[in-house]
Amino acid sequence: MVGQDVKDVKDEIIYLRSAGVDLGKRFLVACARTPSAKRPGSWSLETEQFGTTQAELRRLLAWLVERQVEVVVMEATSDYWRAVYYLLQPQLNLMLVNPSHLKGIRGRKTDPNDAAFLARAGASGMVMGSFVPPQDIRELRDLTRRRTEIARAAGQEVQRLEKELEDTGFKLSAVLSNVVGASGRAILEALIAGERDPERLADLTVGRARARIPDLIGALDGNFTAHHAFMVRHYLDTIDHLNSVVITFDERVATLLADLARDLDLLDTIPGIGRLAAEIVIAETGGDMAQFATAHNLASWVGVCPGQNESAGVSRSGKTRHGNANLKRLLGVAAMAAIRNKDSYLAVFFRRIAARRGGKRALVAVMHKLVIAIWHVLHDHVPYRELGADYFTKRDPQRAIRRMIKEANSLGLTVRFDPIEAV
């Protein structure tokens, strides 16, 4: 145990008794910052090392309670914070902070110094706690994130299957958009069974794929050996297994979200947000917008709002924050799906921004719009309202008129606009 008195700097003190916890895999270091009984106006720093087992964490809790700390600050280090947070949070005012928001003094980095730095930061209110959802939402997050990983793994197996078919000389993926769909699966099963006649294989197709039979006959001209049959069987079995696991996760997620069916239906009204995406939105945000004061707070948390980079009165381009990577990835896919409808508000908005700032920035701007819509839908419990492709024209008709006049003049024409008389 280490104790010392330090003279306080002239900063505003919000908490008289604070503590900082520096986490590690095998042990952690806690520092309690309390008023000094010997020297008024000074603070005493008391440091103690603890293990990371549950018994040691309970000893840490008793140590903090004994010192009557009002706030405890610790960094979100890897996944080591989880066990500590779950044990301390119900009984203490615990703040989990982003490590990038706190930088200690270079050249003096030790575990006790880091813990003392966290304690000082917490006492002065320099840090802001991260959003940690309740247990049921954390469990839902685990399920949706793992489901995404499994679905991605299934997609990777399909890509490996396509590479194996390239080794045979077959160009099946060049004709069929989905080689493991109904037509592709029928052809592959026949190949594994020993069929090699391209015409018979092509005749196994169903639905719209039958219109591509002439192309398939040429694409199925190759050398499919017993080795290829073994590998294709392996890939198909792996894909089937992963897809069955995804179905199991779907059922589990649906059970946990049974009470939030109304919110899922409302999110489904947002362009680009389907049922699967709505489940991920609920899992990542918790579904309760009380955690985010405004829609822009949610956008900042997700990481789809512009960063700030101002110095000496000059504003420079600022990058977006990392934010919630899982939700940001989902919003990127949703934004690309939303702008496919050319007659929608989001598609027109995308084209307006892309003309000035480029496609990538315009896509992030659409993602920002989607986050704003998500916040309002979940906060106000109302469906998404489509503004329409003519929203910007109706909002500022004079601007639209000036643009049309300018375009006409560039073609050597003149135009005149007369109002339509009411019938």
Contact 119, 74 (CB under 8 A): no
Counting Cβ atoms within 10 Å, is residue 405 exposed (0-12), middle (13-18) or buried (19+)? middle
Domain boundary residue among 256, 275, 307? Answer: 256
Residues 12 and 110 placed together within one structural domain of the fold: yes
Sequence letter at residue 100: S
Counting Cβ atoms within 10 Å, is residue 201 exposed (0-12), middle (13-18) or buried (19+)? buried
Does some domain include residue 398?
A: no
Sequence letter at residue 59: R
Residue of 77, 61, 72, 62 lying closest to 32 (CA atoms) = 72
pTM of the model: 0.82
2-7 and 314-315 as β-strands: parallel, antiparallel, unpaired?
unpaired
- Phi-psi map region of 380: left, alpha, beta (phi>0 left; psi -120 to 50 alpha): alpha
CATH number at 182 reads 1.10.287
Contact 365, 353 (CB under 8 A): yes
Q: How many domains does the chain have?
A: 3
CA 47 to chain CA centroid, nearest Å: 37
Does some domain include residue 60?
A: yes
H helices then E strands: how many in the chain?
Answer: 17, 8
Calpha distance 329→324 (Å, rounded): 9
Range of the domain at 303: 260-380
What are the tokens at 93? 């005012």
What pLDDT score does 4 carry? 55
Domain boundary residue among 67, 91, 123? Answer: 123
Residue of 81, 43, 48 lying closest to 64 (CA atoms) = 48
What is the dihedral angle through the alpha carbons of 44, 125, 22, 88, rounded to the nearest 10 degrees? 100
CATH number at 104 reads 3.30.420.10
Calpha distance 156→174 (Å, rounded): 18
Contact 114, 22 (CB under 8 A): yes
Does some domain include residue 177?
A: yes
Calpha distance 18→70 (Å, rounded): 6
Residues 284 and 182 placed together within one structural domain of the fold: no
Sequence letter at residue 27: F
Does some domain include residue 350?
A: yes
Does some domain include residue 237?
A: yes
Calpha distance 253→124 (Å, rounded): 41
What number of residues does the chain have? 423
Does some domain include residue 266?
A: yes
Residue 277 to residues 82, 132, 265, 288, 313, Cα–Cα distance (Å): 26, 21, 11, 16, 41
Q: Which residues does the chain have with pLDDT short of 50? A: 9-10
71-75 and 94-97 as β-strands: parallel, antiparallel, unpaired?
parallel
Residues 315 and 372 placed together within one structural domain of the fold: yes
Contact 18, 71 (CB under 8 A): yes
Sequence letter at residue 149: E
Residue of 364, 331, 327 lying closest to 349 (CA atoms) = 364
Q: What is the phi/psi pair of residue 69, to 5°?
A: -70, 145
Q: Return the residue matching tokens 């709505």.
A: 278
Q: What is the phi/psi pair of residue 44, to 5°?
A: -100, 130
Does some domain include residue 415?
A: no
Residues 264 and 248 placed together within one structural domain of the fold: no
Sequence letter at residue 399: R
Residues 284 and 241 placed together within one structural domain of the fold: no
Q: Which residues contact 11 (CB under 8 A, 6 or more apart)?
A: 124
CA 331, 335, 340: angle at the middle one, nearest 5? Answer: 155
Residues 47 and 85 placed together within one structural domain of the fold: yes
Is the Cα dihedral 187, 193, 196, 199 positive or negative?
A: negative
Residue of 215, 205, 171 lying closest to 185 (CA atoms) = 205
Does some domain include residue 421?
A: no
Contact 143, 283 (CB under 8 A): yes
Residues 66 and 34 placed together within one structural domain of the fold: yes
Residues 242 and 309 placed together within one structural domain of the fold: no
Residues 97 and 162 placed together within one structural domain of the fold: no
Residues 265 and 251 placed together within one structural domain of the fold: no
Residues 297 and 359 placed together within one structural domain of the fold: yes
Residues 230 and 318 placed together within one structural domain of the fold: no
What are the tokens at 400? 């639209």
What pLDDT score does 75 carry? 84
What pLDDT score does 2 carry? 54
pLDDT digits (tens, 9 = 90+) for 115-174: 888 888 888 877 777 888 888 899 999 999 999 999 999 999 999 999 999 999 999 988
Q: Return the residue matching tokens 């899992």.
A: 283
Residue of 102, 96, 88 lying closest to 131 (CA atoms) = 96
What pLDDT score does 62 carry? 92
Residue of 107, 92, 109, 103 lying closest to 126 (CA atoms) = 103
Residue of 109, 32, 108 lying closest to 73 (CA atoms) = 32
